[in-house]
Each structure stands twice: as structure tokens, then as C-alpha cells.
Amino acid sequence: MKVIIVEPPKDIEKKIAVAAKMCYSASTLSELSRKILDSDQKAFIKKIVAIGHHSVLEHVNLSFAVEGISRVLTHQLVRHRIASYSQQSQRYVRLDDTFEYITPESIRLSRRLSMKYHNLMDQIHDMYKDYLDEGIPAEDARYILPNATETKIFVTMNLRTLLHFFNVRCCNRAQWEIRAMAIEMLKQCKKLSPIIFESSGPSCIGGNCGEGEMTCGYMASVRNKFKEML
């Protein structure tokens, strides 16, 4: 799996500070911008995030390019509706020479099951190539491709959506692949803006577990893990 932030924006905190202070000030936009530029906004931004004034976070978007993931993951990802997605098309991109797939660790650990898994993938790929060779359009041949098929996706979310995304997808109860992607995204977000994402992570970071009776039961260790994250 490879995750990168594409062309990260500059002055994230400044833009958010201007938007937030405009709500509480009679000053003009140019006056606010001057004041913010000349002062440290860390404490103010922390307060805005802490009190839940998250609408101002919607003014900043981050875009991620993600490779080496399965369609199992992307089927979950697109449930986050306040976002934009551009995914590699199986209609236009033929996979006869470039068929890759994701193998879960639980299957990889069993030699017997792993062999059956890879054999099945080989059979599917052979059938897919046969269809293409027989003139079946790629848009129809793709019907036999598995959820494990490797894909690429370009994702854009605003910071408010990202905080919610991390809240539910960094949780131990999230499916392992999308959790791994969310944690890698969060690591990069923390480097880009440690102020905004300081307390970001699963719901138990800032309070009680959001899973209720379905909790993993390891809240203390989870909190320590994310507090130690860069």
C-alpha cells in the first residue's frame, strides 16, 4: 500500500484561523489576515477544534493518491459521501498483463489456504484473458474479477470529513485494510498540520468508545498508540 498527499496546501492554519475569527470579529478580512499573519495561532486553532467549531475546517481540502489496495477497501471508502473519488477503471484499463490482487494476512498465514487462494486467482485471471482474447469487451470481462483485485484511487476530503473518517476508520473495529490506510493518512496529516490533527484518531482518543457494546476493550493501549504517533 502506498499513500501520498498530493500537492499539500500551504498556510492551512492561517486560512482556518481567518475563517473562524471572521465569525467573532467586526474587523475586515484584510485586517484579520494581517493580525493572524503577525501572531501565533496555535492556541486559537486548538480551541476551535476542541470546542467543535469544525465548520471552518471545511475550507481546506487534502487530496491523497492511494495505490496497492483492493476493491474491498474502496467499496467501504466511498461510503464517506462528503468527498471526491477518481478510481482506476476496469472498463478502460485491461488487466490481462497487469493483474494484481491483495492477499489478507489471515489467508497468507495458512500454507494450504494460501495456495488455494493463489490458484483461484490464477484461474480467474486465465478466464479473464480468455474472454478478452475471444473479443469480450473489458467492461464485460471484468464481471468475473474478484474484490481482491488491486486498484488505485485519488481521494479528496475536507479536514472536517477527514477528522470523522479517522474517528471511525482508525478504530480497532474497522476492517484491517481500510484501517491501515486511514492510519497512514493520519500520520501524514499530523506531519502536515500537527495542531489540527493533534487529537485525531479513533473515537476513544477523546472520550468513550463509539462502538458501545462492540468495543475492542483495548482503549488504554489505543490511546497510547495514537498519542505517541508523530
Q: Which residues are catalytic?
A: 169
Residue 59's region, left for phi above 0, alpha for psi from -120 to 50, else beta, is alpha
Main-chain dihedrals φ then ψ at residue 53, nearest 5 degrees: -80, 65
- Residue 107, C-alpha cell as written in the block: 489467508
Question: Which grid coordinates are listed for 221?
Answer: 493501549
Query: Could you identify the residue written with the cell 473515537?
Result: 203
Other CB atoms within 10 A of residue 92 CB: 8
Is the Cβ–Cβ distance between 107 and 113 less than 8 Å?
A: yes
* CA dist 147 → 113, 123, 176, 188, 218 (Å): 17, 15, 15, 27, 30
Taking Cα atoms as reference points, which of 199, 197, 205, 203 lies closest to residue 221?
205
| Whole-angstrom distance, CA of residue 51 vs CA of residue 69 | 35
Q: Cα–Cα distance between 98 and 83 in angstroms, integer?
A: 28
What is the Cα 194 distance to its own chain's centre? 17
